Amino acid sequence: MDLSTLRDRIDAVDRKIIALIAERLRIVEEVAVAKLDAASPFRDREREERLLLRLREHATEAGIDPHEIERLYRVVMDMSVAHQEATVRARADVPLRISYQGVEGSYSHLTAQRRYGGRPGGALLGGFDSFRAAADSVIHGDADLALLPIENTTAGSINETYDLLADGKLHITGEIVSAIEHCLLALPGVTLDELRVVISHPVALAQCTTFFAQHPQLTARAELDTAGAARRVAQAGDRTLAAIASAAAAKTYGLAILAQGVQSAAGNATRFVEVALRPAPVAEDAMAKTSLLIALADRPGVLGEILTRIAKRGLSLTKLESRPIPDAPFTYRFYVDVLGHAASASFVAALDEIRELTTELVVLGTYAAA
């Protein structure tokens, strides 16, 4: 047979394999419903290991490398679990559990309302005192997703979120960009001249440096949360105390808005990432973005070489952030955002090319770009 005929036969087999994977995923949807009815976990590690053992035996009988078959089926099982979770999230009778840092009226809470409001099945929103606690709620199975701020156009990167991602337990499944307008809130009837202390989240305070420079009589003091600061002002009954928070927080806690738009930059916006225990499918028509975590090999110019190899594959960087590695003084991890799907041919080739230049290379997630 000629080469063209052989390739046609391979193409026909590939179409059958894809059709069988699609059939497997349709069965997985039924499994998801059965697990939901039985309150069973989506992942049974012991069953997966038994399945892999059988598959290795089948591969050996067929004369195929059992290790390669195991590697292939681990990907298939990850895909199946993600498909089960997506099936459940799409059901009209199952609420999605969302965690975030802050209380009612915080920017994270307002962004979660905009993101998940009107969702079929509804959404259960839960606020936590810290980013770590919100992330842990997902890790421990108390929430399906966490919504965490990761960068702001004025204050820059929110390092705690990057450090949480370095743990390797969570995957980025989406991103949301929210416009942020800060307001100065105080007790009703209080004037600006009476104020002495303004409390808010440190990131919010950092976004309002111009306002504080214009009002040197005001002392900025950090609190855990913007809306939490507003609640504290309402509870304290102190006419010298104010908060920087949202207009929604003023309404929630019965405070007066003394000034609107006190942020230094008019186009102030925060980018949030949605994180989950496992990756999520990306819609076919979505522009995909992939986030990577990279630790560099110890050689001169290695970062530039990595960026050059990514660019040669036609991939565009949208973010590059460094964070120290705690157990290795004066060494750094890099977080890289790249437009493209991690499973695309150009991305896979780029990852293969840069792997030798790293001591750590982790795909944090592929998701629809905001």
Q: Say which of 252, 270, 290, 366 is annotated catalytic.
A: 270
Backbone angles phi, psi at 327, to 5 degrees: -90, 5
Instruction: Look at the block and give the residue holding tokens 């799409």.
Output: 90
pLDDT digits (tens, 9 = 90+) for 40-83: 666 677 778 889 999 999 999 999 999 999 999 999 988 888 88
The CATH number of residue 325's host domain is: 3.30.70.260
Comparing C-alpha atoms, which of 191, 226, 195 is closest to residue 208?
226
pLDDT of residue 38: 65
The verdict on residue 102 lying in a domain is no
Q: Six-digit token pair at 246? A: 């949202």
The CATH number of residue 42's host domain is: 1.20.59.10
The CATH number of residue 204's host domain is: 3.40.190.10
pLDDT of residue 41: 62
Q: pTM of this prediction?
A: 0.74
Of 41, 70, 89, the position where a domain reaches its end is: 89
Comparing C-alpha atoms, which of 103, 101, 203 is closest to residue 147?
101
Comparing C-alpha atoms, which of 163, 158, 250, 255 is closest to residue 207?
158
Q: Say which of 131, 211, 272, 347 is annotated catalytic.
A: 272
Q: Six-digit token pair at 269? A: 């916006």
pLDDT digits (tens, 9 = 90+) for 222-269: 998 899 999 999 999 999 999 999 999 999 999 999 999 999 988 889
For the chain, the domain total comes to 3
The verdict on residue 287 lying in a domain is yes
Rounded Cα distance between 75 and 134, Å, is: 28
The verdict on residue 340 lying in a domain is yes
Do residues 327 and 256 both lie within one domain?
Answer: no
The verdict on residue 70 lying in a domain is yes
- Containing 13, the helix (H) or strand (E) segment is helix 3-38
pLDDT of residue 39: 56
Q: Six-digit token pair at 32? A: 């998801």
Q: For residue 14, how far is the Cα from the chain centroid?
A: 34
Q: What stretches in the chain show pLDDT beneath 70?
A: 36-43
The verdict on residue 309 lying in a domain is yes
Do residues 295 and 367 both lie within one domain?
Answer: yes
Rounded Cα distance between 220 and 243, Å, is: 9
Do residues 295 and 350 both lie within one domain?
Answer: yes
Do residues 289 and 331 both lie within one domain?
Answer: yes
For residue 290, indicate whether it is catalytic: no
Structural domain for 81, as ranges: 14-89
The verdict on residue 98 lying in a domain is no
For residue 330, indicate whether it is catalytic: no
